[in-house]
Structures are given as structure tokens and as C-alpha cells.
Chain A
Amino acid sequence: MIKIENLSKIYDDGTNTIKALKNINLEIKKGEIFGIIGLSGAGKSTLIRCINRLEEPTEGKIFIDGNDVTSLKKKDLRKLRKNIGMIFQHFNLFSQKTVYKNIAFPLELEGFNKNEIEERIKVLLDYVGLEDKIDAYPSQLSGGQKQRVAIARALANNPKILLSDEGTSALDPKTTKSILDLLRRIRYEFGLTIVLITHQMEVIKEVCDRVAIIEDGSIIEINTVEQLFKNPKTKTAMEFIIKLKSDITEEVIKPNKNEFRGTIVRLGYSKGNAKEPVVSNMIKEYDVQANILAGDINRILSKNIGHLILELQGDDDEISKAIRYLESNDVDVEVM
């Protein structure tokens, strides 16, 4: 469906050259949800923008259904873009147009008449569950509603591909979930191919079939999501997974924080010292009791890395001494 060959992007402003993408090779299958994850500045945004040429690649080729996108002339490029929907982190709706007019925009570009446009918009709004917002302006909508309108607009011309540029990054966890559900539904019902970029492993885990990890302009790992969680090949992948797991445990603990009597601390073992019995030594050494609430240790690149969430009970003075002891033993301590 989408095939990227030896893609490179170099920014050159005369004084500095930045290699944003280095020799990217990627194949995305029809009907799959393909995620590209990386930290900010890794090049993921540049990569997704090359697919519809919002960014011009410096080198390499991109094929969609066998047609070389990189050689398209302006007019053909516009035609191609009408077949690729795109949504953005900040929604990018027209602020002076109603929901109706926003969704009508791509349909007007295609030259549909008024009745056809009206009919299509009704179907789309019904699909994203916002029929009652047809005459609202974007400023009157919540973030999740704005992204639903943006999705309806992106789907207006029945595209074959949907690109999501951090489409859920500005949304809260609950809204993120509902938008991801919508994307999953779209894929099943329309057989759309979805390419999304994100910095949240949660998004990858929720909806993606396969994932590419991008770091410093290069793809360092391509894997199915299942395999990635079972057996990540790279340290960066591991770190994303650990971050996700600790986010989840913290989500479980934080709302119940007031139910604990002691001090809740999060111990991070990032230096590979999770094997040493620091916690047990701490209990022996100081007059504190430790109640284990959650934890996760992963073996990566022959080191044990992870985190542990404890409730420490005892004298304030003893607790702070115990925390200092942990810190002196290379454990990162965060009081929650």
C-alpha cells in the first residue's frame, strides 16, 4: 500500500544542516494501523508529512499503490492529497467556519453540489456522533469533539489512507481512548489504512497492528505490537514500555492516594541495580515498614531496570533517613 524507499530529509539553511530523516525504509500494508513512535525531535512528524508531501523529501521514493508520489506534479499531488485524510494534534479546524462549513470544505474542493454535500455531512456527523453540533463553531466544542469533526472532515472524500499527526496528544486519557476507538471502527468499516505518529506507547498498544520506532532520524525497530511488548529488540522500545507500565500503575494508585496512611514513594531502578536487596537492607537499617503497592522490573540489555511503588510507614524522621539511604544506593526516589 505505502512503500517508503531510502527516504532522507535534510534541512539546510545555509549555515546548519540537519539530517531529520536518514535512509528510511518502510512498508505499510493495506488496512493496517501502523504506528510510528519516537521522542520529540526524532523525525516522526517529518516522516508522516513526507507521505503526502507537506514536506518534500530530499532523497528516496515513496510509493502509494505502486505510484511514485515523489515525482508527482503539483496538480496530481493535489489529487493525491484528496485521497489521503489527515488529522493533527491541534485539530486545525477553521475557526471562523461552522462544523458544517468545515466538513464542507474538502467536498467543495471536489466540486460536489450543495445537496450532495449536505447529505454527506449528515452521514459523517452521524458517524462521529455529533449531529447536534452541525451549526456550532469550533470554539464551542471540547477537544474530543474538535478531533471528531476533524476526523469527519478527513473522511469526507472517502480517502484510502488516514494520517494522524499526534492526533490524540492534546487530549486527556479518556478522550484519547474514545478517539482511538473511533479510529479502530473506521479501519474495520471502511478498510482504511491508518498511519499514526505518537510519543505515547499507550496509543500504539491500544490500536496499532505494527509499529516502527524512530530515533534520531532512523528507524531502529519495526515490529508487530504483540512482539514488541513480549520481546522488544531495542533499549528505546523497552523504555517506552516501562514508561507505559509505570504510567498505568501510577494511574491506579494516584486516585486512592488519600487512603494510605504512610508516605508513598516511587523507586526507579534505572542504573541496572534492581537485583541488589536495597529495600530489605533499608528495612533492617531503619525503623520503617514498607508495603509494596506495585512494581515492575524488566530485564533489558543484561541489566535489571524498573520501578517499585512502596508505602513507607513510620516516623517522619526515619522515613526521610531511609529515603536518603536509598538515594545513596543509586535508586531514584520520588515522593508521590
Chain B
Amino acid sequence: MADLIVPALIETLHMVFLSTIFSLILGFPLGILLVITEKGSIWEKKQLNRILNGVINILRSFPFIILMILLFPLSRIIVGKTIGTTATVVPLSIAAAPFVARIIESSLKEVDRGIIESSLAMGASAGEIVFKVLIPESMPSLILGITTTIINIIGYTAMAGAIGGGGLGDVAIRYGLYRFQTDVMVVAVIVIIVIVQGIQYIGNKLSSKINKK
């Protein structure tokens, strides 16, 4: 049992870790752009805002598993293969990026309009407001958002297992479902539950610890 679960756990953590990083790299700037290009915001660009919103909505409409299959050719270009943990990171990151963008957007929007106005009155530029005001002021909310993102990606990796991604989801399906080894499935699911609970707990603690409001 352990020699099934432990490597799968490492694969899952590997996928989740890398996908979280890359989806943040892709989604974070998009989230910022969504907020600052909006009408009346600090870098108003109506056309760009409309396009961004449209693209993000379209990407989010795709069922994840279909998006993954569509993105496999890209995996081949970037990591040279379409099967395995590393190959799964490419579609996972891209599929999660629009979700991340929305999460970041909603966190940044929580920053009080008056605080942005006073920053403008002090002569801050749009860039200074983003990095010195918007992000630090919304940090507690951003941490909760990133926590949600990680948990979401854990769910995605379980699905990715079904199409050759490896990890705990893969084990649960192959041994538990196809070979009727219910005990393996139960253990795999319990391990996933423990990870999710742990991450949510850490996220909540961290967020309230740094929140000075």
C-alpha cells in the first residue's frame, strides 16, 4: 500500500506545487490588469479590459478535462511529452490561470477606493499604486485566494490522473475503481482530504495573522 501511495503523493505534491507557481505567474498579472484597466480605475483601458474579460470567460467555460486534452500539443512543445507528471503541469497551469486571474481580481477590488485616491493625491503612479498599495493592502485576502487556488489545483490533478498525469487521483482511479481495490481508493482519498484540510488551515491562519485591519 505504502509503496503505491507514497510515490503518488510525491507526484501530486510535485504537480500541485509547480502548477500553482505557474498559474500564479500567468494569472496574477491578468488579475492586476483586470482591475486597473477597468473604467474609472488607475490605468483605464476599456478595449483591453473587454478583451481580457472575454478571453478569461471563454477559457473558464471549458470543462477542465477537455481543455487539458486540447493543450497536450503544447505540452509536447514545452516539455517534450504528453504523459507524466511534468507534462501535466503545462495544461494544469494554463487551465488554472483564468481562475487565478478572477481570484486575484476580486481580492484587489476589496481595497478601499479612498485609499487609492489618497495614494493618487500623494503623486503615486499606477505602478507604484499596484505594488505599494493594492497588493500589500489586499495581502490577507490574496492569501486566502491563493489557498483556494491550491485546493482547486489539487482537484484538477486528481482529474489529470485520469488521462495519464499520475498522482493520487491516478492511483485512486486505476487501483480503486478499475481493479476494485477499494482500500487503496479510500486511502488515496483520505490523503487528499488531509492535504486539503491542512492547506486551508494554514491559509486561514496565515491570512488572519498578517491582517492588521
Contact = CB atoms under 8 A, between A and B. Distances in A.
Interface in A122-168: 137-139, 150, 153, 163
A90 B114 contact: yes
Contacts of A150: 118
Interface stretch (B18-26, B66-74, B125-133, B172-180): B125-133
B123 A78 contact: yes
Given A54-B117, A81-B122, A88-B118, A95 B133 contact: no
A112 B163 CA distance: 56
A43 B140 CA distance: 36
Contacts of B136: 94, 96-97
A52 interface: yes
B120 A109 contact: no
Interface string A66-85: 00000000000011111010
A55 to B, nearest CB: 10
Contacts of A95: 112, 115, 137, 212-213
B137 A81 contact: no
B139 interface: yes
Nearest to B210: A96
B77 interface: no
A74 to B, nearest CB: 8
B124 interface: yes
A92 interface: yes
A63 interface: no
A2 interface: no
A325 interface: no
Interface residues of A, number: 27
A54 B120 contact: yes
B122 A82 contact: yes
Contact of B123 (A88, A96, A109): A109
A247 to B, nearest CB: 27
Contacts of B121: 52, 54, 81, 84, 86, 163
Nearest to A97: B136
A302 B188 CA distance: 89
A240 interface: no
A214 to B, nearest CB: 21
A109 B212 contact: no
A163 B121 CA distance: 10
Contact of B118 (A80, A92, A97): A92
B213 A82 contact: no
A279 to B, nearest CB: 48
Interface of B, secondary structure class, is helix
Contacts of B133: 94
Contacts of A109: 122-124, 128
A262 interface: no
B212 A82 contact: no
B213 A139 contact: yes
> Which of A78, A86, A96, A108 has most B Cβ within 10 Å?
A96
Given A105-B132, A139-B212, A94 B115 contact: yes
Nearest to A86: B121
A81 B211 CA distance: 30
A263 B125 CA distance: 60
> Which of B137, B140, B212 has most A Cβ within 10 Å?
B212
Contacts of B118: 86, 88, 92, 150
Contacts of B119: 105
A127 B133 CA distance: 26
A96 B213 contact: yes
A106 B132 CA distance: 11
Interface in B95-120: 112, 114-115, 117-120
Nearest to A90: B114
Given A54-B117, A88-B117, A105-B132, A96 B122 contact: no
Contacts of A106: 122-123
Given A97-B136, A109-B124, A92 B117 contact: yes
Contacts of A81: 120-123
Contacts of B125: 78
Contacts of A54: 117, 120-121
Given A94-B133, A139-B213, A105 B115 contact: no
Given A81-B121, A109-B123, A94 B137 contact: yes
12 contacts: A88-B114, A88-B118, A93-B115, A94-B137, A95-B112, A95-B212, A96-B139, A105-B132, A109-B124, A109-B128, A139-B213, A150-B118
Given A82-B123, A94-B136, A96-B212, 8 more contacts: A80-B123, A82-B122, A84-B121, A88-B114, A94-B133, A95-B115, A96-B140, A106-B123
Interface of B: 112, 114-115, 117-125, 128, 132-133, 136-137, 139-140, 210-213
Interface of A: 52, 54, 78-82, 84, 86, 88, 90, 92-97, 105-106, 108-109, 137-139, 150, 153, 163
What 7 A-B pairs come out closest when comparing CB atoms? A92-B118, A81-B123, A82-B123, A137-B212, A86-B121, A92-B114, A78-B123
